[in-house]
Structure 1
Amino acid sequence: MTTSTAPSATDLFAQAMRYDHRADPYPYYAQLRREPVVRMDDGSWLVSGHREIRQLLHDPRSSADRLNPQTKVPKAARGLLVQDPPLHDQLRRVVSQEFIPRITGMRDHLGALVSGLLDAQAGDRPGRLDVVADLAYPLPVTVICELLGVPREDEPLFGSIARRLTRGLDPIDTQTEEELRELDQARGELMQYLEGVIARRRTEPGTDLLSGLMFHQDPDDVMGPVQLRVTLGLLLIAGHETTVNLIANGTLALLRNPDALARLREDPDLATPLVEEVLRYDPPVQMSGRSALADIDLAGTTIPKGSRIRLLLAAGNRDATRFDDPDRFVPDRRDNAHLGFGGGIHYCIGATLARAEAQIALTALARRLRSPRLVADPPPYRENAVLRGPEQLLVAFDQLVPDGPQGVS
């Protein structure tokens, strides 16, 4: 007689991180949620319950500064995402003051960009497009380049850097030695590239976001050279990498749920709750990290001071104690308090722009493609586990109809 042993949380997490499970890690997340707070074999803590994740996102004892001390990166040189108050609040205030006014009123421009990208696919019918390469990637890249004042033609350079840097977000034990070497090289290449961009803008200031950050009206809040480079790099990379996945994951959800696609085609206003459901159901950012500044009592256990914490956002988004029928895609779901943009003081600063880009792109796809269908299901996925989304998303269609009035206002 043999006895079976339930897999440990460490084993389940390792299974979820495996590339051959990238298309659907959610069954492993569901098993992990049976213990919403659990200690891993390496001493870190994994938090997968919705309530527990939200508590940590709002708990000042839960620090965003989770960099390995061995990196020896000075606090002033660390990015906004891994800063705590008071420096975090100062940096975020400056970025918000310069960023938010520049994205206000952009919807018409976003609609025109989406139309142009889809028009480029017009030709003899039937047709085929790669939603990632033809729409989901070029749209946010163009927008963030315009906002920052970065030349669009530099995309091959910073795009290559971004792909290597975002791979570095994954658990270190999933990366090869070659990838770790490439990560260090990419950091150096990015700083060198950004120094050149900043130098040009210093002699030729404009109305773009970078100029605003460099010549901020409050001299007490002007960033130092290192902070400026790090912030510019964060905005450039985070400003497009996550939105690519949001649009691609949303397209995938629509094509797998034809009733939702038909409803969006007839009712463009559905785009607003639908994008929120994509952020819950299949979020572009699967997890985040924290460290404990003090002992934290959570779900009947204590996370000791100094512990590293993984917040499994995508698992919390499918927590049945918070959401009804959590594994079903419900485009008009009510009370959708998802974790797709994080929470607390580190809530995604670009959430408004990402929502608008996804709403307009998904509505245009639903309205303009006749009889769209997936060429491969599941599609091939990116290597990244944290920033999870298709590498390629081929869609065949019978006709690309001419554009009309924008469906989302």
Structure 2
Amino acid sequence: MRPFGPPHSPRFLHDLRGELARVVADLFDGLEGKDEEDEQRFHGWADTVASGLDPSGGQRGLEKAQQARRELGAYLAGLIDTKRRRDGSGILGPLARETGPGGSMSTAELVSTAIVLLIAGHETTVNLISNATLTLLRHPEVLERFRKEPELVVPLVEEVLRYEPPVQFIPFTTTLADIDIAGTTIPKGAPVRLMLASANRDPKRFEDPDRFDPDRADNEHLGFYTGIHYCFGAPLARMEAQLALPELFRRIRNPRLLADPPPYRANPVLRGPHHLPVAIDGLTTP
């Protein structure tokens, strides 16, 4: 985490803000792909690796995910070697040169970490932005207010994280001891699935939980999980969504859904549309 933010890299995220804003603007200005020659490859790998979390995919789905992970790992291993030989910036460069109490990470450890960062940072943010877009188009009164009050984006993103979180549940948890919950004992060593989306709509915690309300008070959701496993990429995800959504709805004219519900990704863990067909009447000028 040291290359990512405070206290060791206090300006890392702050200094990304301008670049992220330029990326958003460039996408609308028809410059998609410039200096991003590997983006489509990453998207394909990320989508296939993430699909391996879906148990309904069977052995074939698992094999495809494993193959994509091997291809992605080989690409990242070469990139790590380049970053080590050159003074690479960003996240991967400092990680490749990092020396902690246990020494430096091996290439295999760096590749594994980089894959986690890519999947967790790519798939989840894609779903956060698409889920927010879909939710706003389903709530035209909120969208109209958002157009007039772009500063609403901060509580709006938090409510999307509660109402339609990109990560629906945590599938890989095991009890370290017997746990008694509501009269039921979960034995030590049992696999547990933590249903974050269900907790985010718990009527004992949130009033009228099935209502989308960006003015919701005390909105301590589990969109980024909790405790020692709280997503350390949460500040970056928030910033990406807070930059993308106001620009999106400032630039597109008269957006309307062409399919509701849209086709969803075949993945019960990472929830979001596979495609979000939207008709518009054109773009406004920057």
TM-score by length of 2: 0.91
Partner of 1:22: none
Match of residue 117, structure 2, among 210, 230, 235 = 235
> What fraction of aligned residue pairs are identical, expressed as a percent?
51
Contact 1:246–1:358 (CA<8 Å) still a contact in 2?
yes
Letter in 1 for 2:13: I
Contact 2:77–2:107 (CA<8 Å) still a contact in 1?
no
For the residue of structure 2 that corresponds to 1:115, the secondary structure is helix
Taking structure 1 as reference, are residues 309 and 219 closer, same or farther at Cα in structure 2, changes over 3 Å only? closer
Letter in 2 for 1:262: E
Letter in 2 for 1:181: E
Partner of 1:162: 46
Deviation, 1:165, is 1.1
Distance 1:343 1:221 in 2: 29
Letter in 1 for 2:77: E
Partner of 1:224: 106
* CA-to-aligned-CA distance 1:184-225 (integer Å, 9 cap, x gap): 222322222221111222222222221101212656453222
Distance 2:201 2:188 in 1: 28
Partner of 2:67: 185
Deviation, 1:105, is 3.4
Bigger Rg, structure 1 or 2: 1
Partner of 1:311: 194
Letter in 2 for 1:300: G
Contact 1:380–1:392 (CA<8 Å) still a contact in 2?
yes
Deviation, 1:96, is 5.0
Contact 1:382–1:390 (CA<8 Å) still a contact in 2?
yes
Partner of 1:55: none
1:348 pairs with 2:231 = yes
For the residue of structure 2 that corresponds to 1:370, the secondary structure is coil
Deviation, 1:367, is 1.9
Match of residue 273, structure 1, among 155, 158, 162 = 155
Contact 1:94–1:221 (CA<8 Å) still a contact in 2?
no
Q: Single out whichever of 297-306 and 255-264 deviates more from structure 2.
A: 297-306
Deviation, 1:349, is 1.2
1:207 pairs with 2:89 = yes
Deviation, 1:303, is 0.9
Distance 1:99 1:167 in 2: 33
Distance 2:87 2:101 in 1: 17
Deviation, 1:95, is 5.6
Deviation, 1:260, is 0.8
Partner of 2:221: 338
**1:1-80 mapped onto 2 (5 Å cutoff):** none
1:114 pairs with 2:27 = no
Distance 1:102 1:200 in 2: 21
User: What is the aligned-residue RMSD (CA, Å)?
Assistant: 2.2
Contact 2:174–2:191 (CA<8 Å) still a contact in 1?
yes
Contact 2:24–2:244 (CA<8 Å) still a contact in 1?
yes
Partner of 1:194: 76
Distance 2:20 2:135 in 1: 22
Taking structure 1 as reference, are residues 117 and 157 closer, same or farther at Cα in structure 2, changes over 3 Å only? closer
Distance 2:17 2:224 in 1: 20
Distance 2:65 2:282 in 1: 42
Distance 1:399 1:229 in 2: 42
* CA-to-aligned-CA distance 1:334-367 (integer Å, 9 cap, x gap): 1111111111111111111111111121111222
Distance 2:176 2:51 in 1: 27
Contact 1:280–1:314 (CA<8 Å) still a contact in 2?
yes
Partner of 2:281: 398
Q: Single out whichever of 226-235 and 183-192 deviates more from structure 2.
A: 183-192
Taking structure 1 as reference, are residues 94 and 294 closer, same or farther at Cα in structure 2, changes over 3 Å only? farther
Contact 1:262–1:366 (CA<8 Å) still a contact in 2?
no
Match of residue 285, structure 1, among 167, 170, 177 = 167
Match of residue 139, structure 2, among 257, 270, 280 = 257
Taking structure 1 as reference, are residues 190 and 234 closer, same or farther at Cα in structure 2, changes over 3 Å only? same
TM-score by length of 1: 0.65
* CA-to-aligned-CA distance 1:76-121 (integer Å, 9 cap, x gap): xxxxxxxxxxxxxxxx556656776422233333222212212229
For the residue of structure 1 that corresponds to 2:124, the secondary structure is helix
Q: Single out whichever of 295-304 and 352-361 deviates more from structure 2.
A: 295-304
